[in-house]
Structure 1
């Protein structure tokens, strides 16, 4: 079975781990995501994962109202570490070799991010889970995905969302919205289509790193993407 990509960076939002819950981690959803990642690993695809923390941080968001932005961002980074540890543990239980690396130095808990180690782990067939975003406040995990994707020399950033691609308008509000099969970075930016934040989009564009947006809630969608099938939206130069 021929794959379209040999090395990918998968961007998982924290919300993807919630399933139907209001916040926290759905064990069923976590197990399904792990199974889909294991499936593409079995095809020989090298997988890096950047994970968000919105599902955890949502539970304390009320208390964060009015908080200093940098402090709130560091709290969000810690939420991504929690998600990364949960994902890494679920992979271990499923028999998938994985390593968690954090952009924040909390080495008694998780390994500190070192680019050379990440690439070596990928070459050894391990899934590498990147936590704590870029390690800096004011930058989103979308930007972390663009940065880590370029650093590990991924061929594409796969953004796994609740929506099955990039639309001309919000499909939840506008039933006439149409899904793009392909769209350029410049078009996405000029039309403010919310593929990723502007910093992440600009970084991917400048580094000629394409983005594929698809729904992680569609069973088998991740495999179809790496096989090059008609799934989601490709954002390209």
Structure 2
């Protein structure tokens, strides 16, 4: 079938900033609901879905460190912010009758299950959406790296990064109207040209485990499902573009 998904198990990375919508900080309920709707639609296609969500809409560790806060403390605060976002997404998904579990790398049994790899895999095998909170559970690692790590641990077929734009460009498409969008890039191109798709640790981890990365616009309704069918506008990062 032409419209059938090309991937069985996928990881979606959503930045905290994406959840802000047009706000300056915090959560935009309409944006959260739209993202939840897209995840529901993909789950109903028979795809096993897990997510890593950032916390930059609430607190960003690097910004805190730059302002004089001790880096580890700032990063832990950022990890706690990701759990807030994970719970918000879980709530939105369950309102759409999607069975969802939040697994936290920092134990907090009252609000989330502890992260156990085999448990997470079993949830996805049962058709549940799994949201990973608290990053890797360690300071000095970004949620991009957490997404690549969890995608590797879950044996995901692809890692998708939902952003504000529909792919990777050679310049900021907002300020440079004729910026070129790449259809395909290799991992090495992203690393050597420092294109900022994800941080270098995340790209290297995806490369080592041969997990392609697709960058698309999370704000375009239905784009998540389109990418998994091989349609729509996005940039794919993989070993070879030939």
Residue number in structure 2 paired with 1:165: 167
Q: How does 1:169-184 map to 2 (within 5 A)?
A: 169-184=171-186
Corresponding residue SS for 1:100:
strand
Residue number in structure 1 paired with 2:220: 218
- State the TM-score, normalizing by the size of structure 2: 0.94
Residue number in structure 2 paired with 1:112: 114
Question: Could you give the per-residue CA deviations for residues 43-91 of structure 1, whole angstroms, max 9, x where no partner exists?
Answer: 1011000000001116xx6798210011000000000000001111111
- Give yes or no for contact 1:169–1:193 (8 Å, CA) kept in 2: no
CA distance in 1, matches of 2:229, 2:64: 42
Query: What displacement does 1:186 show?
Result: 0.4
Q: How does 1:149-160 map to 2 (within 5 A)?
A: 149-160=151-162
CA distance in 2, matches of 1:205, 1:150: 10
CA distance in 1, matches of 2:5, 2:64: 44
For the pair 1:5 / 2:7, whether they are aligned, the reply is yes
Query: What displacement does 1:15 show?
Result: 1.0
- Give yes or no for contact 2:64–2:74 (8 Å, CA) kept in 1: no
CA distance in 2, matches of 1:82, 1:46: 23
- Give yes or no for contact 1:52–1:80 (8 Å, CA) kept in 2: yes
Residue number in structure 1 paired with 2:45: 43
Residue number in structure 2 paired with 1:229: 231
For the pair 1:96 / 2:98, whether they are aligned, the reply is yes
CA distance in 2, matches of 1:198, 1:140: 10
Out of 200, 208, 211, the position equivalent to 1:198 is: 200
Structure 1, gaps ≥5 residues long? none
Query: What displacement does 1:172 show?
Result: 2.3
Corresponding residue SS for 2:146:
helix
CA distance in 1, matches of 2:101, 2:223: 24
Residue number in structure 1 paired with 2:23: 21
Corresponding residue SS for 1:55:
coil
Out of 34, 37, 61, the position equivalent to 1:32 is: 34
Out of 190, 200, 208, the position equivalent to 2:210 is: 208
Corresponding residue SS for 2:103:
strand
Query: What displacement does 1:174 show?
Result: 2.4
- Give yes or no for contact 1:9–1:157 (8 Å, CA) kept in 2: yes
CA distance in 2, matches of 1:97, 1:231: 29
CA distance in 1, matches of 2:51, 2:112: 15
RMSD: 1.4
CA distance in 2, matches of 1:151, 1:63: 29
Residue number in structure 1 paired with 2:55: 53
Q: How does 1:140-155 map to 2 (within 5 A)?
A: 140-155=142-157
Corresponding residue SS for 1:174:
coil
Structure 2, gaps ≥5 residues long? none
